A and B are shown apart, each in its own frame.
Chain A
Amino acid sequence: MTETFTPPTRFAVPGRIDVSNRAAAVWQTATITEIRRESPHAATFRLAVPAWAGHLPGQHLMLRLTAEDGYVAQRHYSIASAPDDAGHIELTLDHVEGGEVSGWFHTVAEPGDTVEVRGPLSGFFAWPGDRPALLIGAGSGVVPLMSMLRHHRARGLDVPLRLLVSARSPEELIYAREYGAETTPVFTRSAPEDVPVGRMAAAHVAPLLAEQPPGGWEAYVCGSNGFAEHASRLLVAAGQPVHRIRIERFG
């Protein structure tokens, strides 16, 4: 055992973009301009960030709230909006049970309130719109994938894009009115008539791999750890190369 070790996969590919460290280092004031309900548990918060440096679909930011005594709570959130909306970004947040930050957004926040953000952050999950994209998300895991879908539409990109999105029920499916032919929803608890109920399965993933474009898909998976483990195994079993699966897990 003296030979040089070669990893069995080439996972550690560089990020899709060069990350702007300057933008990531600065906290900026963000003003809530609009709140839209997406589902019983999720709402979209539109923020005006005048000096926003711009982002790529799939990137996230760090957000912080400060109490009067100086106590600070900060969290990472994916950006839901496409990059083209100068000076504005949108976040879609689940109301997490007992969550001090999401709880504030869902029960206190009003247009005009200010919070602080820094970003955009991280290049690994970014999608510049170059490679064919196979997007798989569950619950609010669809948020960064929606930024990709919106970008794809806003720019009229020719590169293929498909979205598999899992939700408990049609009522819980966020962005339901925005999906088109590129999207297949999967419902795990209740579904519209004629739509089967059940977990995402090989039967959902295999057809997408079968119709993969030349050069193959770049796969982006986002959701809870349990979902990410399940979906990534489905992808591997269907033949998607491990080093072309990018995963973002809640935590």
Chain B
Amino acid sequence: MNVTRGFAGRPRVPNAALPPGQYDAGDDWPVLSAEVTPELTPAEWSFRIDGLVEEPRSWSWEQAHELPASAYEGDIHCVTSWSKFGVRFGGVSLDTFLDVVRPHVSATHAVAYSHTGYTANLPLADLTGGRAWIAWEFDGEPLAPEHGGPARLLVPHLYFWKSAKWIAGLRILDHDEPGFWEQNGYHARGNPWEEQRYSGD
């Protein structure tokens, strides 16, 4: 341990929900997208799943909203070290979409891509089992553009760069294919509990 002279830090608040190296951002919700926030209306938004699936298909805003609603209440964790507790997102479980397209047995990974061209790669196992959503509400209000509105991917058990803003689709693959930040030195999976921030962690 390399103790910093005279460093006390914030008062210790035991918090088992805080992954290693993270701090509680409180009411703040920093915006960290690397691109220009797109002017994307719900009418222009669409979501598609293709690749290694039985029935590739796309959903319009209206079609996606006809699916059963599902909410996430819990925490989110950003690789830049902030965590945000007790957030509430509303949308549709990704399982609902995947049940329609039916991934092949050979499918292992997915690349999530945005209407901006942003990409993030994820193991398919992290997108199924009630752990991922397409989200369009935050705290009961429409998701703000700078936070990914009209709709973003939400995978809250991984670092938040995986939760692609302005989500346009998933390409289902039988191998891992690095996304935008992953090509720029970030970890392929990004599990905050194992502090998988950078490639090699």
B93 near A: Cβ within 8 Å? no
Q: Mark A113-130, 1 if CB is under 8 A from B, else 0.
A: 111100001111100000
What's the A-B contact tally at a CB cutoff of 8 Å? 159
Pair A225/B116 contact, Cβ less than 8 Å: no
Identify A246's interface contact among B31, B34, B58, CB under 8 A: B34
**With an 8 A cutoff between CB atoms, is B60 at the interface?**
yes
A66–B118 Cα distance when bound, in Å, is 35
* Main DSSP-derived SS at the A contact region: mixed
Q: Is the CB of B146 within 8 A of A225?
A: yes
Nearest chain A CB to B12 CB, angstrom units: 6
A225-B146, A229-B146, A251-B30 known; A1 vs B117 contact (CB < 8 Å): no
Closest Cβ–Cβ distance, residue B121 to chain A (whole Å): 12
Q: Mark B105-117, 1 if CB is under 8 A from A, else 0.
A: 0000000011111
- The answer to whether B2 and A68 have CB atoms under 8 Å apart is no
A250–B81 Cα distance when bound, in Å, is 12
Chain A contact residue count (CB 8 A cutoff): 61
Cα A66 to Cα B21 in complex, Å, equals 11
Contacts of A104 in B (CB 8 A): 4, 6-7
Q: How large is the interface on B (under 10, 10 to 19, 20 to 34, 35 or more residues)?
A: 35 or more
When A25-B200, A251-B80 are in contact, do A65 and B7 touch as well, CB less than 8 Å?
yes
Asked whether any CB of chain B lies closer than 8 Å to the CB of A207, the reply is no
Give A196-251 interface residues, CB cut-off 8 Å to B.
Answer: 225, 228-229, 232-233, 235-236, 242-243, 245-251
Q: Which residues of chain A have C-beta atoms less than 8 A from B177's C-beta? A: none
Known: A2-B58, A5-B113. A251 touches B48 (CB 8 A): no
- Are A70 and B34 interface neighbours, CB within 8 A? no
CB <8 Å contact, B30 and A66: no
Is A15 interfacial (CB 8 A cutoff)?
A: yes
Q: Closest chain B residue to A15 by CB distance?
A: B184
B57 touching A2 by the CB < 8 A rule?
yes
A24 touches B198 (CB 8 A): yes
Residues of chain B with a CB closer than 8 A to A195's CB? none
Chain B residue, CB-CB nearest to A69: B12
Interface residues of A in 45-62 (CB under 8 A from B): 62
Known: A24-B199, A65-B4. A1 touches B10 (CB 8 A): no
Interface residues of B in 1-23 (CB under 8 A from A): 1-10, 12, 21, 23
Known: A247-B33, A247-B34. A24 touches B185 (CB 8 A): yes
**Bound form: Cα–Cα A85–B6 in Å:** 29
- The answer to whether B185 and A108 have CB atoms under 8 Å apart is no
Q: At the interface, yes or no: B169 with Cβ under 8 Å from chain A?
A: yes
